[in-house]
Amino acid sequence: MACINFVFKILLSGVLLAGCYASGAHHNTSLAHSHVTSDVNQRLSLLRSVMRSRGVSVYIIVNGDDHQTKQHGPWDKRLEYISGFTGESGQGVVTQTTAVLWTEAKYWERADSELSGTEWTLCRTDFTGSPNMNQWIATHAKYTDKIASDPLKWEFSEWLNLDNYLRAHGLQLNLLTENLVDSIWYPKPSLPPSVVFIHPLEYAGEPWENKVQSMKDFMSSKSVDVMVITALDQIAWLLNLRGKDNPFSPLFKAYFVISTSLCVLYLPKNKITPVLRNYLGDIVIKPYDLVWTDLPEFVRTGKCLYLPDEANFLLYAWVPPLKLLTGPSPVKDLKAYKNSAEAKGMRNSQIKDALVWVRLVHRIEKGIESGELWDELKVLECVDQLRGEHWSYIGNSFPPTAAHGTHATDAEYRPDAKTNVKIGDDILRVSYGSQYLDGTTKVNAILHCGIPTPLQRSVYTAILKGLIALVTTQFLPGSSLHRLEYLLEQPLLALALDYRPQRVHSIGEFLLVQEDFNSTLNINFFGVVEPEYLDCGIKIGQVIQVVPAYRERYMTMEVRSLFPFESRLIDTSQLEPHEIRWINEFHATVRYVIGEQLVGRGLHAEYRTLIKKTDPLV
């Protein structure tokens, strides 16, 4: 609480002015426009020069935007720019003599390669005795050092946790309204000049007016008169709007403020159009940067302001503690459980990508049989071509990959001209996801173009058993998803294999491929189940929907990713009769639904491939 009061007094005293962000911060012009080479060490030298001029001893850098979006555009990858590390997650700390990076274990191999030859050091926090970032700073910083970061790039709870930890060690985390990496980044990528477009009610299923009214009802129940929505996917869902400000998700840069007297949408100026003003009616639309000008007035006139948990720390710091209420965003729960129109669109989207997979498998297998050369890059080219044939296809929902042989064991592998290999007698793991106008997809599928090893068959079958156990279990509404995930790991553990859990996550309707939700299950929840054992290169990804079970009051799951399992990898001796029956029933559904699509398009050769792939197990 002392920290919050301190920050609030600073803000009131004018040290941190909203105008700094409204004007894009006061950059050192000579440095910003100097020639910056691709050499990471030179960039570090420039950053350290800026740090000295600002009196900063320790500077913390993270990838991300002001809205804590999981997928980042190139303009938000500051850690990548300053370090050369291309992993999606990570934190970096720069001092005048050291540069240290932390990231998830799955990125360590990549980080070792990309940081080689630079001044950066990778810290592996899973190793005994290796400090995490907080511990490292507390150990290496002196009490006189100014430790700083950009508060817009942090969820407020994460900032507070770090600041409290440092204060316990006689240190303090300082806010800087200037992002120091931006001050040396030239030329810096910019947001695309795209417009915001309307998501038709045919797909959205509920008018935006009803959704906004539900937010006002929530505010009334909490005795709150102002609420700020900061998450971009939540704003897009709430207003039935979509954009093109993210490489893999139809998002747009915005803040949305709801008060008892008016609603204000803050957008970049180039996105404010007469069509949008007419569509949103009484909602006031203002330039994006003016949120920092208007926020003090909302704080002054409001009795209580609600900030969702994902709000950045600068927003949090502007609100006096006695006027602030924080908690989960009410949009998150509403968005997690799809209405009937959204559910229909999600099911249709999975069918489109299942059709792509079956046609891809047909081309690969028949091509190899006839002597065609197939490699990883050709697989991805074929996926793009097949998806592009559908009028509603917008783009990827995440970076796709085709990984063959030993490449399949690398979770982050992406083929390029140097690493590309020919498809032969081994595992081919293909991952792709699509944004269609009516839904978002994610596919993780396996093809084997030869004779699998006994271990590959055993592992694939064990993973399949875990998937069947999860999707056939019955549970009450409101059950915790994480309490059910143990079902995925049991068959692998029975083989004495080290299961590395992959959480089941929510998936949006023409939004993010991986969304936050409260982990409780209810009807029309759509999620992605991704059991894997990458030591063998195997990963299965299925989109599931929660539906009513035959047992009264109970629910269960149905698989909506209608592509066949790889029969070459299924060891029926490991399966129980009910598991064989489930696979056969699932394959019968795939044969009927996808077969109808193939025949309707005159793709009879592909249909024959589907028949072969869905032959009943005995």
Query: Does one domain contain both 432 and 469?
Result: yes
25-46 burial, b if ≥16 CB within 10 A, otherwise e?
bebbeebbeeebeeebeebbeb
Of 181, 180, 183, 177, the closest CA to residue 15 belongs to 177
Point out the domain boundary residue: 128, 149, 184.
184
The reply to whether 420 and 323 lie within a common domain is no
- Asked whether residue 80 falls in the same domain as residue 205, the answer is no
As given in the structure block, the two tokens for residue 355 are 């059709």
Residue 609 falls within a domain, yes or no? no
267 inside domain: yes
Task: Work out the average pLDDT over 265-286.
Answer: 96
Q: Same domain for 430 and 527?
A: yes
Three-state DSSP state, 415:
coil
Task: Judge if 204 and 318 occupy the same domain.
Answer: yes
CA distance 367 to 606: 13
Q: Is residue 192 part of a domain?
A: no
CA dihedral of 557, 559, 560, 562, whole degrees rounded to 10: -170
Say which amino acid occupies 132: N
* Encoded tokens for 243: 């954009």
Least Cα distance to 573 among 465, 468, 469, 473 occurs for: 465
Distance (Å, rounded) from C-alpha 442 to C-alpha 192? 25
CATH number at residue 409: 3.90.230.10
Domain count, the chain: 3
Cα separation, 199 vs 192, in Å, equals 19
**Shared-domain flag, residues 363 and 384:** yes
Residues 6+ apart with CB under 8 A from 546: 521, 522, 523, 524, 525, 526, 527, 555, 556, 557
Coil vs helix vs strand at 362? helix
| Nearest-angstrom CA–CA distance, 259 and 618 | 62
State whether 114 and 227 are in the same domain: no
pLDDT digits (tens, 9 = 90+) for 457-513: 999 999 999 999 999 999 999 999 888 988 998 999 999 887 666 678 899 999 999
The whole-number pLDDT of residue 104 equals 86
Residue range 567-586, pLDDT digits in tens: 999 999 999 999 999 999 99
Report whether pLDDT(601) > 90: yes
Tens of pLDDT, residues 526-547 = 999 999 999 999 999 999 999 9
Instruction: Determine the Cα–Cα distance for residues 530 and 467; give it in Å rounded to an integer.
Output: 9
* Judgement on whether residues 368 and 404 belong to the same structural domain of the protein: yes
Q: Is 308 inside a domain boundary? A: yes
What contacts 271, CB < 8 A, 6 or more positions away? 194, 195, 196, 243, 252, 253
For residue 516, tell me if it sits in a domain: yes
Q: Give me the helix-helix angle, 604-613 and 577-600, nearest 10°.
A: 180
Give the pLDDT score at 87.
87
Domain boundary among 313, 334, 355: 334
Which residues sit opposite 149 in a β-bridge?
175
Cβ–Cβ < 8 Å for 184, 36: yes
- What type of residue sits at position 32? A
Last residue of a domain, one of 269, 301, 334: 334
- Please write the tens of the pLDDT for every residue from 316-331: 999 999 999 999 999 9
> In terms of Cα–Cα distance, which of 514, 524, 515, 517 is closest to 477?
524
Q: For the chain, first and last CA: distance in Å?
A: 66
Q: Tokens 């004495």 belong to which residue?
A: 496
Determine the average pLDDT of the residues in 370-395. Answer: 97
- C-alpha distances out from residue 581 to 468, 497, 587, Å: 11, 26, 10
pTM: 0.90
How far apart CA 66 and CA 62 sit, in angstroms, is: 11
Q: Examine residue 597 and state whether it is found in any structural domain, yes or no.
A: no
The answer on 177 and 260 residing in a single domain is: no
Distance of alpha carbon 182 from alpha carbon 289, whole angstroms: 17
Does residue 29 surpass a pLDDT of 50? no
Statement to judge: residues 166 and 210 lie in one domain: no
Domain that holds residue 459: 340-576
Write the CATH number for 255: 3.40.350.10
Whether 98 and 242 share a structural domain: no
Q: Are strands 305-308 and 226-229 parallel, antiparallel or unpaired?
A: parallel
Mean pLDDT of all residues in 442-471: 96
In a shared domain, residues 415 and 477: yes
Residue with tokens 């609100």: 319
Question: Which residues does 538 contact at the CB level (< 8 Å), separation at least 6?
Answer: 408, 427, 429, 446, 456, 459, 460, 463, 532, 569
The answer to whether residue 7 sits within a structural domain is no
